[in-house]
């Protein structure tokens, strides 16, 4: 007997429960939502979103849902037909909303011949993956496709931020990552470039015009870009893995766990760092223009 575990959203769990309605079995299993048995496979769904498929061939059931997870959504608007099957550069960034840690941007070139292998690796929306999976998958992606990663650590970010607002900084970084990647893959040219949208297209192009080498050709923008092409999903995973690594390094250097995000926990950790080395030390690890800086200063008053 073998087993397969999937992680699903609450909406998906409801859909699964509906799907297995004829096969549901009354059985009290702690923290479970439903239990079903179909064609020799038992399906246990938990409140946590985990769904366990067990049996001699659990894939006969699990595949139904796995396939659905990996099938890219058809473009709603603005993207050419069959966009998800094209050879494109996709780019995404991580760390923009986190007080601690760098701003990381990555561009990935996914040739259409690489799409199947990327899919097999489990490349999908990085928000659906655990940190440990992200690190593993990122390493594999890096050996499989050309990519360009750019990391702006807080020290540099704090220098640049007063003159480049966060949006302009991201535009500059996406553009630079794409430009460097285009050089790496030349003479190959992508069929398109897709940016996981973080600002209105007009805004992007406004800031882009200020760049020395603006890349404007075959440029597309869409929110949730990772659902529209695996290149963006891969870029998101590589960026996140790098961001997590940087947080770990910061944690080691400071001898305390450095959180991601921008909540109260970040204020508390920032207060500790301020006590240790004041703003000069904090500026090495945190994006100082966030409100967290003021909040941390208030905490130690």
Q: Kindly list the residues in this chain that would bind Mg ion in the complex (CB under 5 A).
A: 92, 196
CB of 110 to Mg ion, least distance (A): 16
Q: Find the shortest distance in angstroms from Cβ 12 to Mg ion.
A: 22
The token pair that represents 267 in the structure block? 């204020």
36 vs 237 by CB, closer to Mg ion: 237
Residues sharing a CB contact under 8 Å with residue 186, sequence separation 6 or more, in sequence order: none
- The nearest distance, CB 270 to Mg ion, in angstroms, is 25
Tell me the residue length of the chain. Answer: 301
Compare residues 86 and 240 and give the one whose CB is closer to Mg ion.
Answer: 240
Q: For residue 261, what are the CA distances in angstroms to 52, 122, 265, 292?
A: 30, 25, 9, 10
Does residue 232 contact residue 174 with C-beta atoms inside 8 Å? Answer: no
Nearer to Mg ion, 241 or 254 (CB): 241
8 alpha-carbon distance from chain centroid: 17
The CB-of-208 to Mg ion minimum distance in angstroms stands at: 17
Q: Among all residues, whose Cβ is closest to Mg ion? A: 196
Enter the DSSP assignment of 125: -
CB of 178 closer than 8 Å to CB of 196: no
Phi-psi region of 41 (alpha: psi -120 to 50; beta: other; left: phi over 0): beta
Q: At what angle do helices 264-282 and 292-299 cross, to 10 degrees?
A: 90
Residue 286 CB-density burial (10 A; 0-12 exposed, 13-18 middle, 19+ buried): buried
Q: For residues 299 and 293, is the Cβ–Cβ distance under 8 A?
A: no
Q: Looking up tokens 């959504």, which residue turns up?
A: 73
Compute the least distance from the CB of residue 203 to Mg ion, in Å: 15
Name the residue nearer to Mg ion (CB basis): 43 or 287: 287
Q: How far is the C-alpha of 208 from the C-alpha of 175, rounded, in Å?
A: 8
Name the minimum Å distance from CB 241 to Mg ion: 15
Contact 118, 147 (CB under 8 A): no
For Mg ion, give the closer residue by CB, 92 or 267: 92
Nearest approach in angstroms of CB 92 to Mg ion is: 4
Residue nearer to Mg ion on the CB measure, 61 or 92: 92
Tokens of 294: 């003021």
User: Minimum distance between the CB of residue 66 and Mg ion, rounded to whole angstroms?
Assistant: 24
Give the nearer residue to Mg ion in terms of CB position, either 65 or 124.
Answer: 124
Our CB check for Mg ion shows the closer of 58 and 101 to be 101
Helix (H, G, I), strand (E, B) or coil at 44: strand
């Amino acid at each position: 007997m073998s087993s397969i575990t999937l992680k699903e959203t609450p909406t998906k769990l409801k859909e699964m429960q509906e799907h297995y309605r004829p096969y549901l079995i009354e059985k009290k299993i702690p923290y479970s939502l439903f239990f079903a048995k179909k064609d020799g496979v038992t399906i246990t769904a938990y409140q946590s979103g985990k769904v366990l498929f067990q049996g001699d061939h659990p894939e006969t059931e699990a595949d139904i849902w796995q396939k659905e997870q990996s099938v890219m959504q058809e473009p709603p608007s603005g993207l050419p037909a069959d966009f998800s099957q094209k050879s494109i550069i996709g780019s995404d960034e991580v760390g923009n909303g986190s007080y601690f840690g760098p701003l990381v941007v990555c561009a990935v070139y996914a040739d259409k011949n690489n799409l199947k292998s990327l899919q097999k690796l489990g490349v999908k929306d990085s928000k659906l993956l655990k940190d440990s999976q992200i690190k593993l998958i990122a390493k594999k992606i890096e050996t499989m496709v050309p990519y360009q990663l750019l990391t702006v650590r807080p020290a540099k970010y704090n220098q640049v931020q007063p003159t480049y607002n966060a949006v302009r900084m991201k535009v500059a970084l996406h553009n630079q990552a794409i430009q460097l990647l285009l050089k790496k893959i030349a003479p190959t040219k992508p069929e398109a470039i897709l940016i996981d949208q973080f600002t209105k297209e007009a805004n992007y192009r406004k800031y882009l015009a200020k760049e020395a080498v603006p890349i404007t050709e075959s440029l597309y923008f869409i929110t949730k870009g990772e659902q529209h092409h695996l290149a963006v999903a891969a870029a998101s995973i590589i960026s996140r893995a790098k961001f997590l690594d940087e947080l770990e390094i910061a944690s080691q250097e400071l001898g305390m766990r450095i959180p991601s995000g921008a909540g109260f926990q970040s204020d508390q950790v920032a207060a500790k760092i301020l006590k240790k080395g004041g703003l000069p030390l904090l500026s090495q690890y945190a994006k100082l223009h966030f409100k967290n800086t003021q909040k941390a200063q208030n905490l130690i008053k």
